[in-house]
């Protein structure tokens, strides 16, 4: 029997009069890749913000691994294994790529705080190697000593991905990981995400690119105007007329 890693239970969130999320009830099963799709402004990123503690829901709760995480601090939620890859790159612009990946790597190994000033970075070869490995996996190994702010937008997205993956999360939340990437980079990112899936990592992925969605997702939830309008396997969702109307204005997926 599969069990739900993440359960978003009856979440409401409004900004002033705008209902960004209403009545959201969603379960993400262990080991699956769960896609969330929907038009711009549907509330997808807001949903992730609620999951990682960036926004507090007006009502409802988020349960991770049987524990309510609503109300916890973002760093506590991260330490539990819920890691987000941001839609607009949220990197450390003045640090090198390697340092960008080392920060979350140390947070994973040493916890939320550790006065770690006796050992130098060089003494933590294991962590450095791991960081370089992930940089290699996203195709940025050659650029590891560059300052992150010098990267192109697509490269920043890939760096974001490495910063999330290096923490080996229990649940990875990806917000449009391929937006801004070239076709070639998109394909290699999809390959990477498939590889991770084989290792059993549970993922939630928000994506506009249907090619990416259908090549990765086990299950798809469709959001429109803050509400779930469909939820099911890719084939079920593909054939759902409501989805075609809301999402593509009647065009066929």
Partner 1 sequence: MTRLSRQDSLFLLLVVFLTLATPILLQPFPEGSSLAQFNAGYPDLMQRFAIYGIFAMGFNILFGLTGYLSFGHAAFLGVGSYSVVWMYKLLGFNVVPGLILAVITSGIFALLIGYISLRRSGIYFSILTLAFAQMSYNLAYSVFTPLTNGETGLQVYGKDPQYLMGPNSPNSPHFFGLAMIDSVKLHLAGWEFTFNIGYYFTAVIAIIAFYIALRIFRSPFGLMLRAIKTNRTRLDYSGVNTRPYMLTAFVISGMYAGLAGGLLAAMDPLAGAERMQWTASGEVVLMTILGGAGTLMGPILGAGFIKYFENIFSKINESVLHDWFGWLPHGVQDFVVAVINPFVGEGWHLTLGLIFVLVVVFLPGGIMEGFQRIWKAFGRKSVDSSAQTELNPAE
Ligand X SMILES: Nc1ncnc2c1ncn2[C@@H]1O[C@H](COP(=O)(O)OP(=O)(O)OP(=O)(O)O)[C@@H](O)[C@H]1O
| Residues engaged in binding ligand X (CB under 6 A) | 15, 18, 20, 38, 40-46, 87
State the binding string over 127-156 for partner 1 (x if CB under 8 A, else -). xx---x------------x-x---------
Look at strands 18-29 and 4-15 and give their pairing.
antiparallel
Cβ neighbours, 10 Å, residue 253 = 15
Distances from the Cα of 173 to the Cαs of 44, 85, 168, 210, in angstroms? Answer: 11, 6, 12, 18
Identify residues 39-58 at the interface with partner 1 (CB under 8 A).
52, 54
Does residue number 103 form part of the binding site for partner 1 (CB under 8 A)? yes
The nearest distance, CB 44 to ligand X, in angstroms, is 3
20 binds, among partner 1, ligand X, Mg ion, none (CB under 5 to 8 A by kind): ligand X
Distance between CA atoms of residues 136 and 143, nearest Å: 10
Q: Which residues pair with 37 in a beta bridge?
A: 222
Contact 91, 100 (CB under 8 A): yes
Residue 110 binding target from partner 1, Mg ion, ligand X, none, CB below 5 to 8 Å by type: partner 1
Neighbours of 191 (CB within 10 A): 12
Closer residue to ligand X in complex, CB, 47/127: 47
Smallest distance from the beta carbon of 5 to partner 1, in angstroms?
A: 18
User: Tokens representing 26?
Assistant: 């969603």
Rounded to a whole number of angstroms, the minimum distance from the CB of residue 12 to ligand X is: 13
The only residue of 93, 136, 200, 239 in contact with partner 1, by rule CB under 8 A? 93
Q: How far is CA 118 from the centre of its chain?
A: 34
Of 110, 82, 90, 47, the residue nearest 201 (C-alpha): 82
Nearest Cα to Cα of residue 167 among 82, 229, 247? 82
Interface positions, 211-250, toward Mg ion (CB under 5 A): none
Residues, the chain, total? Answer: 253
In whole angstroms, the minimum distance from the beta carbon of 45 to ligand X comes to 3
Applying CB under 5 A, the residues found at the interface with Mg ion are 45, 87
Applying CB under 8 A, the residues found at the interface with partner 1 are 52, 54, 73-75, 78-79, 83-84, 86, 90-96, 98-99, 102-104, 106-108, 110, 112-125, 127-128, 132, 145, 147, 163, 167
């Amino acid at each position: 029997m599969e069990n739900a890693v993440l359960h978003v239970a009856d979440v409401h969130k409004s900004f002033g009069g705008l209902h960004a999320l209403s009545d959201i009830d969603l379960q993400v099963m262990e080991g699956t890749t769960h896609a969330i799709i929907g038009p711009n402004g549907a509330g997808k990123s807001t949903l992730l913000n609620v999951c990682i503690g960036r926004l507090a829901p007006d009502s409802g709760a988020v349960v991770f691994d049987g524990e309510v995480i609503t109300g916890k601090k973002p760093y506590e939620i991260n330490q539990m294994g819920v890691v987000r890859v941001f839609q607009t790159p949220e990197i450390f612009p003045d640090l090198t790529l390697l340092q960008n990946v080392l920060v979350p790597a140390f947070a994973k190994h040493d916890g939320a705080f550790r006065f770690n000033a006796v050992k130098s970075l060089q003494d933590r070869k294991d962590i450095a190697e791991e960081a370089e490995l992930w940089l290699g996996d996203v195709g940025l190994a050659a650029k590891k000593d560059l300052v992150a702010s010098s990267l192109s937008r697509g490269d920043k997205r890939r760096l974001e991905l490495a910063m999330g993956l290096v923490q080996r999360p229990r649940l990875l939340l990806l917000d449009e990981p391929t937006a801004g990437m070239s076709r070639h980079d998109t394909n290699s990112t999809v390959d990477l995400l498939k590889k991770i899936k084989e290792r059993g990592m549970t993922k939630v992925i928000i994506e506009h690119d249907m090619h990416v969605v259908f090549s990765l997702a086990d299950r798809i939830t469709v959001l429109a105007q803050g509400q779930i309008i469909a939820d099911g396997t890719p084939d079920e969702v593909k054939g759902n007329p409501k989805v075609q109307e809301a999402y593509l204005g009647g065009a066929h997926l």
